Amino acid sequence: MMYNDVIITGLGVVTALGKGVGENLDALVSSKGGIAPLTLFATNHEVVVGEVRMSNEQIVDILSLTKGKIYSRTTLLGLLAAKDAYDDAGYSELNQKERSALKIGLISATSVGGMDVSENFYKEYRIDKSKGKLRDLLGHDCGASTEKIAAYLNADDFVSTVSTACSSANNAIMLGARMIKLGLLDVVVAGGTDSLSRFTVNGFHSLGILDKNRCRPFDDSRAGLNLGEGAGYVVLQRSDIPHHKAYGKICGYANANDAFHQTASSSQGEGAYLAMHGALRSSGLNPRDISYVNAHGTGTPNNDSSEGAALIRIFGDKLPPFSSTKGYTGHTLAAAGGVESVFSLLSLKYGYIWPNLHFNTEMSDVAVVPVKDLISDRSLNFVLENSFGFGGNCTTLIYGSYNG
């Protein structure tokens, strides 16, 4: 049996802006970014990041987890956001009979996995091969955080992990929507989680794409991205299942891969164009129907020029208001699509278009200008959200308002 409307009934997010929808919304509205110097661990690199200002121990206490047990930070951030989304939708309150009547799954994205714990193990092991606890590596695999989140929520009728670089969370949400439409699941918690680690800081530094200052997406002076950490999840469900609220519905989606380069995008934004074009086609919408574009906008010279070119190819001279929110949170990698889906759905619900922080000067090579200041009290019908990953993996989601 095919189902048409897949609605979003729960949101959960944790970023450098704070824990939960409320703290993140307050920061977005006040145009207060969370980029600051790195404090989680020592590094030789001069970087500013979007760091969640909570220790692992604090998160363990909030979640009432077993103290003394090793959890990766990726797992802990994912648990925080996924629990909030599940609670928000009311599914944590189901009794056993109500729970058994539904097929509930979790599709979670990550790229870092348990790297932070593995790094601590290796620090001891490389000095003395008899040191280090091998059991600490059990959480290294990307799927380990997903399994822990699914067990914690009791959302385990289907459990899957997506790791397609920075498009991962969007792909998780897209997969969840497709499974509901096909009648394979009734409810899906979908999104992504990633934590900061030495591996990612060193890796992105080696590519020469980290900005020592706060990133400036789509600005002519942009010099790179700021890494971030966090998690964002949405609860998707069939519209005919009882619900007490809906933030919107998922109207369209598409994934494309231009396979242009391992880390760079084509000058014409071929992958981005194909993803946006495909999402519009799957939704049955025209470009003029889009009220706001939540762009990928990392702040690197290549990404922003490429995405800007793709936006012009799609919208021509009728480009709707667009912005990147990475100036608030940093680039949360595999979690980006989850975090930015939450932000997009908050735009739909409250009528906000988020400002592109730190923008001053139009790019010289691509004539697109993002929203500089907060726009409020807008009636938004459809929000298009982009997430693009290394290797050319590009995914676009379209969210629409839903009134039942």
Question: Does pLDDT of 132 surpass 90?
Answer: no
Q: Characterise 91 by phi-psi region: left (phi > 0), alpha (psi -120 to 50), beta (else).
A: alpha
Alpha carbon distance 14, 156 (integer Å): 22
Domain residues for the domain of 348 are: 6-400
> Once rounded to an integer, what is the mean pLDDT over residues 119-136?
74
Report yes or no on 350 lying in a domain.
yes
Q: What pLDDT is recorded for position 259? A: 78
Is pLDDT of 76 > 70? Answer: yes
Predicted confidence band at 91 (pLDDT cuts at 50, 70, 90)? very high
Higher pLDDT, residue 193 or 244: 193
Examine residue 211 and state whether it is found in any structural domain, yes or no: yes
Residue 1 has a pLDDT of 56
Q: What angle do CA 228, 229, 233 make, to 5 degrees?
A: 125
pLDDT at residue number 214: 98
- Domain of 322, CATH number, reads 3.40.47.10
In a domain, 157, yes or no: yes
- Residue 225: inside a domain: yes
pLDDT attached to residue 75: 98
Task: Label residue 85 by pLDDT band (50, 70, 90).
Answer: very high
Whether the CB-CB separation of 193 and 231 falls below 8 Å is answered with yes
In a domain, 287, yes or no: yes
CA distance 316 to 309: 10
Q: What pLDDT sits at residue 2? A: 60
Answer yes or no: is 303 within a domain: yes
Cβ atoms within 10 Å of 239's Cβ, excluding its own? 16
- pLDDT at residue 68, as a whole number: 84
Question: 325-338, pLDDT tens digit by residue?
Answer: 999 999 999 999 99
pLDDT exceeds 90 at position 231: yes
In the structure, what pLDDT confidence band is assigned to residue 260 with cuts at 50, 70 and 90?
Answer: confident
Which of 169-173, 218-222, 241-245 is predicted least confidently? 241-245
**Number of domains within the chain:** 1
pLDDT band at residue 126 using 50, 70 and 90 as cut-offs:
confident
Is position 310 within any domain?
yes
pLDDT in tens, 159-197: 999 999 999 999 999 999 999 999 999 999 999 999 999
Quick check: is 1 in a domain? no
